[in-house]
Amino acid sequence: MTMDYDDRYFHGKPQNSFHKAMNIPDVVVFPRSQEEVSKIVKSCNEHKVPIVPYGGATSIEGHTLSPNGGICIDMTQMKNIKSLNLEDMDVVVEPGIGWMELNEHLEPYGLFFPLDPGPGATIGGMCATRCSGSLAVRYGTMRDNVINLKVVLANGDIVKTGSRARKSAAGYDLTRLMIGSEGTLGVITEVTLRLQKIPQYSVVAMCNFPTIKDAADVAIATMMSGIQVSRVELMDEVQVRAINLANGKNLPEVPTLMFEFIGTEAYAREQTLIVQKIASEHNGSDFVFAEDSEAKKELWKIRKEALWACFAMKPNFEAMITDVCVPLSRLAELISTSKQELDSSSLVCTVIAHAGDGNFHTVILFEPDQEEQRKEGERLNHFMVHTALAMEAGTCTGEHGVGTGKMKVLLLNLLRLLALLTH
């Protein structure tokens, strides 16, 4: 436990979000067991002290801020792997372990956990935000990959949401209720995760397009072709420029799609050729692919760190990150409408999409002390949220969650759904 100002300030300030901290926690605690979490929560409940669970602090929407002070429960000391069940292809972990650390541990067994949000994210935080990542198009989101949880409820009681069975029809699905609850229903203290076999072979392909709409159309056509890609990521020309600047690369600065195909060597190559044909029918050019494992790793690392690359264009700026998601068939329309608005803004904005899921982000760069710029960023953000919601089944957040930043738009989102129900 610490009451040191620097520690409290560190835990109270946003690490990866542009939202402002109005307060900091009064105390930061570092529990080492479920029983300790239970005691802390029970005591906070008795004394009506607010609590904020804290994982890797990579969340984007001011999730870990402590607007009312209280206790920050830093879960990163609870990072043990409790059991690895190779024959069941599952693992039981404490919530503070990071997905990257977990995958390092699993690699020698030929297994991996397929959700890849921000580098540094923990399994507890990933459950709490119902995160996705580039591989969700193939393996689903956190909702689909968690088998069972142990959770400390607000009164300190410990509950187990299920068993280790892969499926169960026995009553309410409490696991799914907790996934995405962002620390509001309890503190997750143990997680059983479904694992996947590391693919025998993979090919990473990249292709350039004259417009972002062409690129989005190819992502849609690829999904419609029935090919089970494991990744389809889209970047606009501004994002590629940021990547070039940050990584000393020389990629063509045009809308670009990145794919990953997996399976046997022959199958991965066959899928690559089919998608190459689809791309060429939609004005795609410079279709290149990598099979060397270091080259592939580097490409995905660069993509994963795309957000941070944006600061190479504007070093002292902050990033407002948007996260709308629509049914796949509406993606090209939403992206091109948004892109027109972004291009006509005075701010520098990039587009990055998990295109196979109909989900895209824009990184809107602004100077933190320039209120007009912040307002312009918010205007763009609202424009995209409203446009997505107007597309009947869109959502204001595909994967980042609500946090403190999206509370108001969540209300809009719910009102929109209600309006649809009553028509």
Ligand X SMILES: Cc1cc2nc3c(=O)[nH]c(=O)nc-3n(C[C@H](O)[C@H](O)[C@H](O)COP(=O)(O)OP(=O)(O)OC[C@H]3O[C@@H](n4cnc5c(N)ncnc54)[C@H](O)[C@@H]3O)c2cc1C
Helices (H) and strands (E) in the chain, counts: 15, 17
Q: Cβ 189 to ligand X, closest distance in Å?
A: 7
Residues numbered 342-361 forming contacts with ligand X, rule: CB under 6 A: none
- As a whole number of angstroms, the distance between CA 80 and CA 93 comes to 6
Nearer to ligand X by Cβ, of 133 and 284: the residue is 133
Nearer to ligand X by Cβ, of 205 and 307: the residue is 307
For 320, the token pair is 């407002």
SS3 151: strand
Q: Which of 62, 70, 133, 255 binds ligand X (CB under 6 A)?
A: 133
Nearer to ligand X by Cβ, of 53 and 114: the residue is 53
Q: Which of 12, 14, 70, 118 binds ligand X (CB under 6 A)?
A: 118
Q: Cβ 230 to ligand X, closest distance in Å?
A: 14
SS3 273: helix
Kindly give, in sequence order, each residue whose CB lies less than 8 Å from that of residue 286, ignoring residues fewer than 6 positions away. Answer: 206, 207, 208, 252
Yes or no: say if 260 and 231 are a contact pair by the CB < 8 Å rule. Answer: yes
128 binds ligand X (CB under 6 A): yes
- As a whole number of angstroms, the distance between CA 412 and CA 397 comes to 12
402 binds ligand X (CB under 6 A): no
Nearer to ligand X by Cβ, of 8 and 400: the residue is 400
Q: Which of 91, 126, 268, 347 binds ligand X (CB under 6 A)?
A: 126
CB nearest ligand X: which residue?
125
Q: Which of 38, 64, 239, 338 binds ligand X (CB under 6 A)?
A: 64
- As a whole number of angstroms, the distance between CA 275 and CA 255 comes to 17
Backbone torsion region of residue 93, taken as left when φ is above 0, otherwise alpha when ψ lies between -120 and 50, otherwise beta? beta
75 binds ligand X (CB under 6 A): yes
Yes or no: say if 49 and 55 are a contact pair by the CB < 8 Å rule. Answer: no
Q: Which of 307, 319, 355, 389 binds ligand X (CB under 6 A)?
A: 307
- As a whole number of angstroms, the distance between CA 136 and CA 99 comes to 14
- As a whole number of angstroms, the distance between CA 389 and CA 412 comes to 9
Q: Cβ 117 to ligand X, closest distance in Å?
A: 3
Q: Cβ 63 to ligand X, closest distance in Å?
A: 4
Residues numbered 185-244 forming contacts with ligand X, rule: CB under 6 A: 187-188
Q: Cβ 402 to ligand X, closest distance in Å?
A: 9
DSSP states of 252-318 as a string? -SS-EEEEEEEESHHHHHHHHHHHHHHHHHTT-EEEEEE-SHHHHHHHHHHHHTHHHHGGGTSTT-E
381 binds ligand X (CB under 6 A): no
95 binds ligand X (CB under 6 A): yes
405 binds ligand X (CB under 6 A): no
- As a whole number of angstroms, the distance between CA 384 and CA 362 comes to 9
59 binds ligand X (CB under 6 A): yes
12 binds ligand X (CB under 6 A): no
Yes or no: say if 23 and 12 are a contact pair by the CB < 8 Å rule. Answer: yes
How many binding residues for ligand X (CB under 6 A)? Answer: 33
Q: Cβ 180 to ligand X, closest distance in Å?
A: 10
- As a whole number of angstroms, the distance between CA 265 and CA 247 comes to 30
Q: Which of 52, 268, 326, 391 binds ligand X (CB under 6 A)?
A: 52
Q: Cβ 398 to ligand X, closest distance in Å?
A: 8
Q: Cβ 4 to ligand X, closest distance in Å?
A: 20
65 binds ligand X (CB under 6 A): no
- As a whole number of angstroms, the distance between CA 263 and CA 269 comes to 9
3-state helix, strand, coil in the chain (%, to 5): 40, 20, 35
Contacts with ligand X, residue ranges (CB under 6 A) = 16, 52-60, 63-64, 75, 95, 117-118, 121-122, 124-126, 128-129, 131-133, 182-183, 187-188, 307, 399-400
